[in-house]
A and B are shown apart, each in its own frame.
Chain A
Amino acid sequence: MPFRYEELVTPMGRPYVRVHVSGDIDLRDAEEYVARFEGAYQRRRVLSVVASGTEYSAKARKHLLAMRESSPHATVTTSALVRAAIHLMTRSAAGGTYRVFTDEPEALAWLDDQEA
């Protein structure tokens, strides 16, 4: 599974979902992801940790872009390619507070500061 979900709490006690992302993401994976964040995880802060080499198929990208995200979302990656992919996708994303980090504690601190 390219997405692994964990329900956690920030140091300030705010609930968030940590998503570990890796591998090749196709449309079905994207649909499952969107269903979760439009369902059970709606309005939840998100911290996604994206592994190097993660690839999004064209259909998956389109589906993820169609999602209206309103909660703060921090992405952690050390890969320049993944960062470029996420920047491209979020350029046209509708709404939401989004930032990319290379360091997870820094990302979590930022997430904790955001108003959900």
Chain B
Amino acid sequence: MSVTIEGERVDQLLRIIVAAATGDYELRVPLLEEDDDEFLEVELGVNYLLEELALGKAKSDSQRQQLEVRAEELAHQQSELVQALSTPVIAVWPGVLALPLVGRVDDERAATITAVLLERVAAERATHVILDLTGVGAIAGNTMPALLRMVRAIGLLGASCLLTGISAPVAQQIVALGAAEGGAPVRALAQLSDALALVLAQKGALGR
């Protein structure tokens, strides 16, 4: 088969193919009834291909948008879940709150814990807060002052804060910050159960 084609038609087709290669699927080869030859099928075929590419791109864009929305929802849910799990404030007795901390505590988490805990202390008129650090592997360098400020803030709300489960490195951090020497009213006990027994004894609950 031999077909003679005007250079302009070939140039036009190539321009459109090059545009498509850069992701532009909106152009179409202009088709004329008078171009009644085999090349017309090639031109029309390219247009069909461009239509398919445009449809595929629209579908893929729509799916990507849906995925982005879903990812955003999941991230939000995850953030809420992490926040809830990272500050599990438990009312172990009327007026007594316990917060067992697990994992690494950084500035952001310390800020969340402070906000949640102070809100609960105020809302429940708590008299005692037991902050259990047994599960805390490490506290970021600048975070310990933030936790100690939280202990002082709890004191300002009229509640006492007891620290339990302090590891040797954390104890050294507290001493280095001078918190154990009078600044903040920090009372430390070995275990959560010790602190609970002490608080309940102070409240006279154990004798009931």
Contact = CB atoms under 8 A, between A and B. Distances in A.
Interface of A: 52, 58-59, 61, 79-81, 83-85, 87-88
5 contacts: A52-B33, A58-B48, A84-B43, A88-B44, A88-B45
Interface of B: 31, 33-36, 40-41, 43-45, 48, 51-52, 55
A84 B48 CA distance: 12
Given A58-B52, A58-B55, A80 B45 contact: no
A81 B40 contact: yes
Nearest to B51: A58
Contacts of B31: 81
Given A81-B33, A84-B43, A87-B41, 15 more contacts: A58-B48, A58-B51, A59-B55, A79-B33, A80-B34, A80-B36, A80-B40, A81-B31, A81-B40, A81-B44, A84-B41, A84-B44, A85-B44, A88-B41, A88-B48
Contacts of A58: 48, 51-52, 55
Contacts of A87: 41
Give chain B's interface secondary structure class: helix
Nearest to B55: A58
Best-buried of A61, A80, A87 by chain B (most CB within 10 Å): A80
Nearest to B37: A80
A5 B82 CA distance: 65
Q: Which A-B residue pairs are the 7 nearest by beta carbons?
A: A80-B36, A58-B51, A84-B41, A84-B40, A84-B44, A80-B33, A88-B45
A81 B44 CA distance: 8
Contacts of B35: 80
Nearest to A62: B52
Given A52-B33, A80-B33, A61 B41 contact: no
A52 B31 CA distance: 13
A61 B48 contact: yes
Contacts of B51: 58
Contacts of B55: 58-59
Contacts of B45: 88
Nearest to B49: A58
